[in-house]
Structure 1
């Protein structure tokens, strides 16, 4: 849909047909057209190539071939029978090969082919072309004119190219070859190839069948042994936690024999699964290990079995097998925050981003303030913030989490976490506190604002906080905002969130806010309508809502989009901060 000079991404549209006042019949529609925007990542085809290939189309009246639009761009919709080159620099695509074999071509050979300076391969075989071959070779390296009605002489330029080994020429099956015995007029090479294929292929196939039979027997034997081993290696002593324990056999059943991989990480592979009641789950599996060898399995099971919060991932159960450890979580269909921020299929608006930030902050607040003892996550990052269908964020991956009592202000551990998110104070002293998570959350906030990764290439490697500082120092705070937001944000809330992020990134932990303070400050900038559902399926609903807000602005009415929070925000939150 096109609105206000721009295309809307996946908009929702509704149409209503009413009969006229003097009509006795209901309204009738017998056709309608829908157009979709196709993004063209490539430049348009070179203008000369376009002109020449259109001349070819006109010359041969190629109405039966679907040649419309740009010949090479976008690449997924290039013309049938064409092969194009796509230079990496800012150069236009060029046509390098044309295949119009068996296309019913009649008449002479179009000179336009020879004028295409990038054309390397031309196949016009098995047509009804007549006359002579043009006396110009150009950039051609392969010219297949076999099985036509060409009767003219072969130009010297073509013969010289063939004799010098610069041109692969095929002319057999043309009248001009009736008095010529050279190889370009003979199919002896093909005959030899056919004989070789007839001899070699059966031998190769038989050999492959023998090898496949051997491998199949070995694999079947190995699988049978593995299945027996896995069934026999269930730990006899379960963990003393109040969640379901799955057997390896049950995991195989709910994951359909581990068919659908939805993620990979340091712990292992994550599979999609479905429980007996139809609930979708994510099964994170660490293969060929034991509980004694896994440093992350026990902490994550112990942590998630004790914590329960709407913004923390729910652990449905675990598998305790000597050869397979697994965690079974609720499935989050919208993936993780990093994927949504970096992907092209969907763009989060400013309000959605703040909601997700608040969700993550509330999850961390629960771990820090409401758990006894307090829990430090130690690996807060956008890939570990998962999103459900309504874009509600939940903290996941507690393999590095650690708990400590109120009597201790910190715990001493080896440095752990992810590059770009590490608290410099923790990295220097190995003393982890709840403020370690606050620092990492500051990086997450900057990612939400900028859409950039924690380490930016611009053009040299720079840490995201320094990149933000440089951009603001050299221009405006608006220069750091993710371009996908299209300037639809409130300037004052942007400034406040940037300030909050920088506050979280103070070098000294004592100067950073608590997660309770972070959550409180984020709530100030979010609209709320008590009891209203959170509609976040896509911009299908968001764009019409923005349009309604623009209309109602003059009436001083606020329409809320997301809910579940009690602090209001001015209507200007949807409009440009510039």
Structure 2
């Protein structure tokens, strides 16, 4: 006979919290490293949660933008404190929270969402789609789907991930099907050895986590679980015959090498089995109607400890649908065991697993706890950390770091910490100057579809992290004194601040980069240029002499015209010139000298993407494809230095 159960991931908030009040306390547990954010909290004072005693802070300093709201009064009763407020993001396609972390550290990250009809629009039940996306850093995490959802219910999303730097971001993505919002955001550090299949390229999303046996609360979390994982209680749905709940007060031993999951002792001390007349347990762990089964790949983890008092033998097989995952497993007496196939993520979004009594076994299956996670590939790379130290523009009314809510990070401009201050700073600049056209949020270059407006990023195959190569803040209303810091941002080749209200002086290190041909700086149209006549205050290009002779033919029409002129010149002078003409005289007399535009070597590298695309090869050098800043396509022909003495035909060849 087959016995099955299925648990919905959601329950009425009132029921959850009533049961949570009965949760057993373990005093003295450390919350070191916990980050707990109450989104939309208008009172900036932190508070300790009345159930878990975990400290929650306002989201001020973790996010910029958005609007604070409270859920309607009819949903307030019984709701926990974090779900009473929320922050919505009606503006922008991507809005991000940024939390402090430790590079390479494993974390559990959880976001919760309680709609509570905060806007009075009844959006979850009006019959139209209501969904938005979540990104963990620059990679897709999950979709929050509230379509046809009870507004009193709380949705939670969890991900186990490795921090890519000294910060980790959670971004809400607007799909155009409802305003994104968030109620609470929580970060919990894990031990490095836990969940060994989680690494820098693979994260896992929460699909289900269940504890078996009798429990007094629907959700078991901190302090029973020191990592504050949510364990759903199975016995609240299935607690009658033929189910049998077992428990023990004896210690369950966890052997070294089998502690990858650190399931709490209190959970291992309870289990569920069947009356001996039954032989099957079918675990249906599906998440409900808003999950598309075909879209996920799952990794199930089974936790066992034999706590039955008699000495009868127990053995069973574990199936995923019709496929055997584990055969002939016998749980050890008062000893924890966790079964999983590392790295084997299964195409089984329905999440149906069967524990089948093996032949010769005296007892039916038993189970203590169960986890299942979905595969998340971390395929997108963040912008190079050196580019996180991008800029600071200061002047009258300028913003210092302590004005940007960066003080929690002590303003240590180390790797991605500087990017946190940068993003917050940019938002302050936007607000101060009313730069409504600029949408800068999250990572500057990744994913590509969310690259910051005004930035051009390079995606070189030689560097997996994209680099910022151009910044265009022309005509952006920037004013005041000029102090632009491009600390270690060696990738930047073009910086356009033209037609603003910026004043001098210009830092010497910026001028040195400009004079060396490493930076194309544009400041024309600013008061700073009223007394300066250098090239950066003109829209003309600076003339330099490259080490190799490079000719660039710009518009296609000019190329055609020059070819015709060269042919006519050859026909008119055929036989009238010697075999070896003076090259300087040739260059002076040729029509090719008309309207030739000169470029620096750095400009040529930029327009050809470091001479990557070869479109032809002549007798005197290679021809590369390039694109000017105005979008015009160009051909760049490079004359090898060794060929200069023999190159009387180089210009006609062009």
The verdict on a shared fold, with TM-score over 0.5 as the criterion, is no
Scaled by the length of structure 2, what TM-score is found? 0.20
Q: Which is helix-richer, 1 or 2?
A: 1
Alignment TM-score, normalising by the size of structure 1:
0.23
Structure (1/2) with the larger strand percentage: 2
